[in-house]
């Protein structure tokens, strides 16, 4: 499929398709959506898939096992709470994607897309002071989806086809980093006008605040997160208008919204104050470094860790050392990375000795885990693969690994000669993708391990599944065809007949989807 947009960017307040100029609709010459009615769930999902497919290909799209797990674990309780509060019908839950895509972008931003996709910028993760703050933004965006604000807005544009709307959203997504590129995309240089139309109404914002707040509380997060985030955004609004906080543009902080929030907050005074959170500081540091990996930015993270002033607060200091280690790794300064990692160790260990609440105990455990995974990363970069396994796999054998650990081990095994753990980890990956079939990186990892074990057919299929998971139908068809050819020409091993018939079925599935996509145009 050839597409006009070569490269898109992640910087946009929010990408709900609201209120397009009618000239677009008239010039499109394509069949229109039902007049005056909100678009159907499946039409919205199709539209979301089309946008998400472009985002998956974007060089700024990030797959990072640590941050992916973090955001997923924040997100899942929110979706669950929305469902049990009756904000999310089982039909909507089933038909929409509910996937979060991370973007390597330092601006503070999150946006809901049609069809239940959510875009989150690393810049947002980098500035939050607690996971409650991040959850509050996710809850707000989730509410835009559950209240079907996107569909409601699109119904006002009855003459627009989803294809045109999708192009508009993709165009605006491309806009703010590269204004010239955006003008080429949006005819007549109307980028600003279009972008201002791509926003929710004030009523929708208030509804998303109200519904989001309820979801946040029900999901077990500290409602102070909402207020903390508001305060942060408000402060930033006073400080700069450089575009680093595009979330503000799409979600203006009217005094009305702030008053509503503060009133809600007073009803929930029982929430405990958030202690300085070392684990959060480490994750935010990770997001900071991964959002900007040019040499100047990396040097700045390294310098920050050398500042004596940051030593006073352990969480901050841990964040700075984590960032510096990761920055050294990116610059391939291995000895320096080892040094900052060494300094981080005792700091994390000490967090455990402070007798405090359940929450801080959880945080201390998480900090230890992020340290272990960072240590494994440092070892991997130096090709000390055995050390990766020793660092990440717990002593008590047999338990299934969590995803970041599983991915780290699989990555190491793929680079090692045959290893006794190979089979066990392959089995764990198989189980994982069965439960999470949309996990493209896990399919990739599985494919590599299968290939090492000479299981070419299953490996090709896993490769195809990874493409399908990223909604790349033609890529998936290509791999599955190769698998089919192999099954036909090569001699199948015992048990591979089942795999071959799965390949046939999955190929048909990919082809159907590819055809459906062509018809949409
Ligand atoms: Zn909003």
Read out DSSP for 28-45? H-SPPPPTTSPPPHHHHH
Phi then psi for residue 466, to 5 deg, are: -65, -40
Report CA dihedral (246, 251, 257, 261) to the nearest 10 degrees: -70
In this prediction, residue 410 carries a pLDDT of 98
pLDDT band at 272 (very low <50, low <70, confident <90, very high): very low
* Chain mean pLDDT for the chain: 80
Helix (H) or strand (E) run with residue 177 in it: none
CA 212 / ligand 1 centre spacing (Å): 10
Task: Using the predicted structure, report yes or no on whether residue 34 has a pLDDT greater than 80.
Answer: no
Query: What is the distance in A from the centroid of ligand 1 to the CA of 149?
Result: 10
Going from the Cα of 69 to the center of ligand 1, the distance in angstroms, rounded, reads: 24
Mean pLDDT of 140-157: 79
What is the pLDDT confidence band of residue 163, given thresholds at 50, 70 and 90? low
Dist CA 218 CA 82 (whole Å): 8
Cα of 132 from ligand 1 centre, angstroms: 17
DSSP string computed for 426-453: HHHHHHHHHH-TT-HHHHHHHHHHHHHT
pLDDT at 351: 80
Per-residue pLDDT, averaged over 168-180, amounts to: 60
Alpha carbon of 146 to ligand 1 centroid (Å):
12
Asked if pLDDT for residue 185 goes beyond 90, the answer is no
* pLDDT given for residue 180 in this prediction: 47
- Which segment of 73-87, 127-141, 186-200, 386-400 scores lowest on mean pLDDT? 186-200
Q: What is the pLDDT of residue 450?
A: 97
pTM: 0.84
CA 494 to centroid of ligand 1, rounded, Å: 55
pLDDT of residue 17: 29
Distance 242 CA to ligand 1 centre (A): 20
DSSP 56: H
In this predicted structure, the answer to whether residue 153 has a pLDDT above a threshold of 80 is no
**285 half-sphere exposure, CB direction, 13 A CA radius:** 29
Question: Distance, CA 418 to ligand 1 centroid (Å)?
Answer: 51
Q: Which helix (H) or strand (E) holds 178?
A: none
Residue 205 CA to ligand 1 centre (angstroms): 5
Token pair 């601006």: residue: 107
Q: How confident is the model at residue 199 (pLDDT cuts 50, 70, 90)?
A: low
Distance of CA 278 from the midpoint of ligand 1 (Å): 29
124-135 CB burial, b ≥16 within 10 A, e <16: bbbbbbbbbbbb
Nearest to 134 by CA among 179, 161, 102, 159: 102
Dist. CA 79 → ligand 1 center (Å): 17
Q: How far is the CA of 250 from the centre of ligand 1 (A)?
A: 7
CA distances from 516 to 50, 116, 117, 175, 403 (A): 11, 20, 20, 28, 33
């Amino acid at each position: 499929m050839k597409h006009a947009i070569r490269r898109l960017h992640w910087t946009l307040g929010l990408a709900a398709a609201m209120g397009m100029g009618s000239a677009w609709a008239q010039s499109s010459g394509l069949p229109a959506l039902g007049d005056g009615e909100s678009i159907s769930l499946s039409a919205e999902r199709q539209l979301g898939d089309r946008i998400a497919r472009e985002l998956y290909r974007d060089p700024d799209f990030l797959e990072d096992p640590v941050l992916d797990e973090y955001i997923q674990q924040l997100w899942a309780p929110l979706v669950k709470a929305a469902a049990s509060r009756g904000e999310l019908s089982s039909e909507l839950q089933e038909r929409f994607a509910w996937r979060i895509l991370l973007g390597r972008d330092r601006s503070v931003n999150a946006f809901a897309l049609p069809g239940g996709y959510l875009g989150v910028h690393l810049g947002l993760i980098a500035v939050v002071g607690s996971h409650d703050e991040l959850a509050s933004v996710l809850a707000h965006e989730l509410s835009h989806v559950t209240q079907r604000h996107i569909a409601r807005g699109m119904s006002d544009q009855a003459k627009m086809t989803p294809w045109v709307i999708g192009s508009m959203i993709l165009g605006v997504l491309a806009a703010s980093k590269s204004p010239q590129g955006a003008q080429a995309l949006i005819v007549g240089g109307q980028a600003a006008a279009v972008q201002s139309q791509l926003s929710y109404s004030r009523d929708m914002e208030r509804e998303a605040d109200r519904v989001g707040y309820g979801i946040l509380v029900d999901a077990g997060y500290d409602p102070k997160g909402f207020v903390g985030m508001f305060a942060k955004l408000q402060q930033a609004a006073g400080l700069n208008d450089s575009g680093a906080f595009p979330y503000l543009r799409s979600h203006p902080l009217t005094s009305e919204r702030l008053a509503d929030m503060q009133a809600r907050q007073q009803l929930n005074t029982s929430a405990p104050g958030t202690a300085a959170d070392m684990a959060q500081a480490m994750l935010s540091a990770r997001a900071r470094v991964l959002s900007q990996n040019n040499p100047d930015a990396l040097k700045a993270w390294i310098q920050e860790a050398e500042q004596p002033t940051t030593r006073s607060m352990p969480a901050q200091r841990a964040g700075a050392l984590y960032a510096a280690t990761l920055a050294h790794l990116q610059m391939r300064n291995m000895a320096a990375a080892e040094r900052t990692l060494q300094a981080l160790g005792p700091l994390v260990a000490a967090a455990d000795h402070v007798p405090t609440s359940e929450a801080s105990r959880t945080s201390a455990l998480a900090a230890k885990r992020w340290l272990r995974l960072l240590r494994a990363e440092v070892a991997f970069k130096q090709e000390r693969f055995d050390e990766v396994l020793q660092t990440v796999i717990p002593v008590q054998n047999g338990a299934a690994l969590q995803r970041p650990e599983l991915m780290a081990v699989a990555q190491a095994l793929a680079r090692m000669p045959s290893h006794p753990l190979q089979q066990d980890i392959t089995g764990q990956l198989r189980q994982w993708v069965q439960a999470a079939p949309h996990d493209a990186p896990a399919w990739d990892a599985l494919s590599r391990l299968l290939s090492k074990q000479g299981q070419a057919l299953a490996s090709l299929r896993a490769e195809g599944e990874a493409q399908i998971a990223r909604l790349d139908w033609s890529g998936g068809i290509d791999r599955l065809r190769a698998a089919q050819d192999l099954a036909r020409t090569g001699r199948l091993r015992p048990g591979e007949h089942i795999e071959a018939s799965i390949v046939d079925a999955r190929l048909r599935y990919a082809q159907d989807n590819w055809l459906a996509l062509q018809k949409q145009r």
